[in-house]
């Protein structure tokens, strides 16, 4: 199946700093990418949807100025957590799709575990 | 997006078939039924999806009720590597995949 690569796999940062997470679709063009956050023993929570070349659409309650999403090409989307705080520590997962949406499988990255100290 | 209901957890023995149920009584006529699974500390993995007819692939089978208000994911012979959280998701006219709580499958040797 198609491959979505997420980098880094884990990161530890100091409170107040910013962290960038990359999501790449390696063998297909991703018209749409999604970013999720997952806390321990909970399900994935959708944060935002990004389409190449346009602004991301954020879910209710997600601060767009804190979680900056850029989808500059059909193979790369980035999530930047700005001014990170310990409560932002979580497992962040990206997903990518191509083609007709509801009849298309989504491919997920391996996730990035962010720890803010 | 229409809601799905799954049991919190299920158990199986290795080499036995597993039937994971999902109820989606508010499904609309154009919603596709998708299944994903998530192994510990990994991103989700696509399993299978369908609209009306039953579907088979190398990983599993998807049985869809005639009224489409429920579906069952079938793992024909469970292995230890199938231990994961399985998510049943309806995908409609929006781009989004909204995850519910899923079913945690334990497989015993």
Residue-wise pLDDT tens digits, A18-60: 999 999 999 888 888 999 999 999 999 999 999 888 889 999 9
Mean pLDDT across chain A, nearest whole number?
92
Residues in CB range of B28: below 8 A, 6 or more apart: B2, B92
CB burial of B34-51 (b: ≥16 within 10 Å; e: otherwise) equals bbbbbeeeebbbbbbbbe
Is A25's Cβ below 8 Å from some Cβ in B?
no
Q: Which residues of B touch A6 (CB under 8 A)?
A: 43
Residue B57, judged by CB atoms within 10 A of its CB (0-12, 13-18, 19+), counts as exposed
Please tell me the predicted confidence (pLDDT) of residue A54.
Answer: 83
Instruction: List the single best residue of A105, A110, A111, A115 to mutate versus B (max B Cβ within 10 A).
Output: A105
Is A30's Cβ below 8 Å from some Cβ in B?
no
Yes or no: say if B25 and B69 are a contact pair by the CB < 8 Å rule.
Answer: yes
């Amino acid at each position: 199946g198609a491959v979505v690569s997420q980098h880094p796999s884990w990161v530890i940062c100091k409170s107040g700093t910013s962290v960038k997470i990359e999501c790449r679709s390696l063998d297909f063009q991703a018209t749409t990418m999604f970013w999720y956050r997952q806390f321990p023993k909970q399900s994935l929570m959708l944060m935002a949807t990004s389409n190449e070349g346009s602004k991301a659409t954020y879910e209710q309650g997600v601060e767009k100025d804190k979680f900056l999403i850029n989808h500059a090409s059909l193979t790369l989307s980035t999530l930047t957590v700005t001014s990170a705080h310990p409560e932002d520590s979580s497992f962040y997962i990206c997903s990518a799709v191509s083609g007709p949406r509801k009849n298309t499988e989504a491919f997920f990255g391996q996730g990035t575990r962010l720890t803010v100290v | 997006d229409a809601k799905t209901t799954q049991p919190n957890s299920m158990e199986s023995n290795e080499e036995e078939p597993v039937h994971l149920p999902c109820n989606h009584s508010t499904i609309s006529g154009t919603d596709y039924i998708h299944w994903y699974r998530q192994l510990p500390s990994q991103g989700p993995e696509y399993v299978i999806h369908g609209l009306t007819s039953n579907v088979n692939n190398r990983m599993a089978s998807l049985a869809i009720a005639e009224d489409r208000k429920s579906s069952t994911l079938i793992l024909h012979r469970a292995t230890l590597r199938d231990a994961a959280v399985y998510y049943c998701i309806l995908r409609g006219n929006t781009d989004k995949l909204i995850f519910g709580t899923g079913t945690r499958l334990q497989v015993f040797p």
